[in-house]
Amino acid sequence: MPTEPEFVVLPGSEREPLADAAPAGPLDTAQRAEVTLVLRRRAQLPDDVVAGPTVLSREELTERYGTDPADLERVRRVMASRGLQVTGADPGSRRVLVAGSLADLASTFGTMLRQVSSPDPGGRGTVTFRYREGPLYLPAELDGIVIAVLGLDTRPQAQAQFRVAPPSGSAAAAVGTSYTPNQVADIYQFPSGTTGARQTAAIIELGGGFAASDLDTYFGSLGLPVPSVTAVGVDGASNNPGDTSGADVEVTLDIEVLGAAAPGAAQVVYFAPNTDQGFVDAISEAAAASPAPVVISISWGQSEDSWTGQGRTAMDQAIADAAALGITVCAAAGDNGSSDGVGDGQPHCDFPASSPHALGCGGTTLQADPATDAISSEVVWNETAAGEGAGGGGVSDQFAVPSWQANAGLPARASGTPAAAGRGVPDVCGNADPTTGYQIYSGGQAQVVGGTSAVAPLWSALVARLAEATGTRFGLIGPLLYAGISPGVDVPGLQDITSGNNGAYAAGPGWDACSGLGSPNGTALLARLKGRPQPGERHGAAG
């Protein structure tokens, strides 16, 4: 902790101790590393820009709401005075990359770094990482200018939200079924005559990779063209099939669900380290791409309280930037029910699904006939008793209820502090139960996989097809979906799920904190969206 008067605490930077962190040898403080600084906006991003109907160009976002050049110059000067180097700057996303030795970085930001190990949040052994506790500090000249310093602590920030189907011969497998993603799209009445053509979808991955041979085999078996899939590395990560994270199934699931449900859409997969820095940088890079994606699919997350305040703020602002650019962000709501895997007996929301600028995607158990597309049963996914997970959802303790969700009939926050309702999750849902899962092909073998990891790319595929059909991009689609809502009443374009629970929350008529507004009827949703002016119409077709 620095004692010099020229240092101030960085709000929201506090890291609580990890109870299961164990020393893992000395940290080489001479090692060179790169961190991401997120700077303040030059002006607040207005609600009508985030929620529509205004859609900004990348240049407009940078000029109006990006980094003030004077702020950037001050950061450069202060970092240089501390022996650090600014290696990159993106005024649009307000990110500045700063590099130097770990010793100089720790000194500049007033912390002590150690090397520790702890259990992998995905349940695969242990992981070793840089670790810190307590708050960060800023040189006083940067007070109020820098809102986040990401990457000093490299603990895993999220886990993949997928669940592999129970093994054959088990009781759960005996009563289960499975579908190809295009069958699920047909069951959910995705608009006929659309494929997502001329649209680009971005996918965020924090580990693993894909093999082209798996994609060739899979899409060939479905009689579908192999979609255009481009891998982009962020913060030194890359497409790395077979890595020790076990995330290859997640990566392949995302690509194959999106590609089978929207075969005409091009995909760009952003691979980043599983850290708060990597997660934020990946979303920012995807949003800044040209052509801009119409949708970003995120199947990774973790309980809100596992994030620092600065990390949540930086991530939420990156998603808000995407919305302002007309990009819809679909995020999995979690696979551990209302507890979100936290062992304190209280409900918790998964982030980034709880961001008010994302479309939170929850899970159901779907029984349907692919031959007729008839649904015989759809209930909230909850196989907790069988150890097969449950759909996430609840009321955020970190984000206030957005204005467009205020009439949905949200319950009070579980914490009761403050008593007012918070952002409700999920917004929508779809088939996620691994016992009614998706047929995919990963690692050279056919598998059946579920989880809300599958729902995010499924809804992303629908957004791409709706964009193709309407010739526009939706950005923050929540205000459109919730328009005219009242408690206990279903909304057009969505099939209300009224049975089941995810632990603390039960389904019922209208919006609820386990199935949201319901699962999609894509054709009816398209008709509803065509009946009102759409965000970004004046900018032409989505790209």
CB 353 within 8 A of CB 426: yes
One domain, residues 238 and 344: yes
Residue for token digits 């890595």? 243
Domain boundary pick from 150, 179, 199 = 150
One domain, residues 292 and 357: yes
One domain, residues 109 and 256: no
CB 280 within 8 A of CB 150: yes
The CA angle 461-467-472, to the nearest 5 degrees, is 155
- Where residue 348 sits, what CATH number does that domain have? 3.40.50.200
Q: Which helix (H) or strand (E) holds 493?
A: none
**How high is the pLDDT of residue 125?**
81
Cβ neighbours for 213, distance < 8 A, ≥ 6 positions apart? 444
Distances (CA, A) of 371 to 179, 187, 202, 440: 11, 9, 31, 19
Distance, in Å, from the CA atom of 98 to the CA atom of 34, rounded to the nearest integer, reads: 5
One domain, residues 217 and 137: no
One domain, residues 116 and 14: yes
**How high is the pLDDT of residue 170?**
53
One domain, residues 163 and 146: no
One domain, residues 246 and 265: yes
**How high is the pLDDT of residue 172?**
52
Please choose, from the candidates 481, 487, 512, 484, the residue with its C-alpha nearest in 3D space to the C-alpha of residue 498: 512
- The reply to whether 1 falls in a domain is no
**How high is the pLDDT of residue 166?**
78
One domain, residues 404 and 483: yes
Distance, in Å, from the CA atom of 268 to the CA atom of 290, rounded to the nearest integer, reads: 11
Q: Which residues are catalytic?
A: 250, 254, 453
Using a 10 angstrom Cβ sphere, with 0-12 exposed, 13-18 middle and 19 or more buried, the burial of residue 418 is exposed
Neighbours of 240 (CB within 10 A): 19
Please choose, from the candidates 161, 149, 83, the residue with its C-alpha nearest in 3D space to the C-alpha of residue 111: 149
Instruction: Please report, in tens digits, the pLDDT of each residue of the chain (543 residues total).
Output: 555 568 999 999 999 999 889 999 999 999 999 999 999 999 999 988 998 788 999 999 999 999 999 999 999 999 999 999 999 999 999 999 999 999 999 999 999 999 999 988 767 788 999 999 999 999 999 999 999 999 999 999 999 988 998 776 554 554 579 999 999 999 999 999 999 999 999 999 999 999 999 999 999 999 999 999 999 999 999 999 988 778 999 999 999 999 999 999 999 999 999 999 999 999 999 999 999 999 999 999 999 999 999 999 999 999 999 999 999 999 999 999 999 999 899 999 999 999 999 999 999 999 999 999 999 999 999 998 888 899 999 999 999 999 999 999 998 876 665 556 899 999 999 999 999 999 999 999 999 999 999 999 999 999 999 999 999 999 999 999 999 999 999 999 999 999 999 999 999 999 999 999 999 999 999 999 998 644 443 233 333
Give the number of domains in the chain.
2
Bridge partners of residue 506, in order along the sequence: 501
User: What's the order of all strands across the beta sheet hosting 445-450?
Assistant: 163-164, 445-450, 436-442, 177-179
- The reply to whether 142 falls in a domain is yes
**How high is the pLDDT of residue 533?**
46
Distance, in Å, from the CA atom of 139 to the CA atom of 142, rounded to the nearest integer, reads: 6
pTM of the model: 0.95
**How high is the pLDDT of residue 413?**
78
Can you list the positions of beta strands (E) in 320-391?
Answer: 328-332, 350-351, 359-369, 374-380
- The reply to whether 342 falls in a domain is yes
Distance, in Å, from the CA atom of 322 to the CA atom of 337, rounded to the nearest integer, reads: 28
**How high is the pLDDT of residue 435?**
94
One domain, residues 405 and 264: yes
**How high is the pLDDT of residue 416?**
60
- The reply to whether 349 falls in a domain is yes
* Structure tokens that stand for 56 in this block: 């900004």
Distance, in Å, from the CA atom of 357 to the CA atom of 60, rounded to the nearest integer, reads: 19
Residue for token digits 């997969």? 269
* Structure tokens that stand for 158 in this block: 């999220």
Domain boundary pick from 150, 183, 208 = 150
- The reply to whether 2 falls in a domain is no
Domain boundary pick from 118, 150, 182 = 150
- The reply to whether 252 falls in a domain is yes
One domain, residues 504 and 398: yes
Distance, in Å, from the CA atom of 66 to the CA atom of 78, rounded to the nearest integer, reads: 20
One domain, residues 255 and 390: yes
Determine the structural domain holding residue 86 and report its residue range.
7-150
Distance, in Å, from the CA atom of 516 to the CA atom of 532, rounded to the nearest integer, reads: 22
Could you give the 3-state DSSP secondary structure of residue 184?
helix
One domain, residues 361 and 441: yes
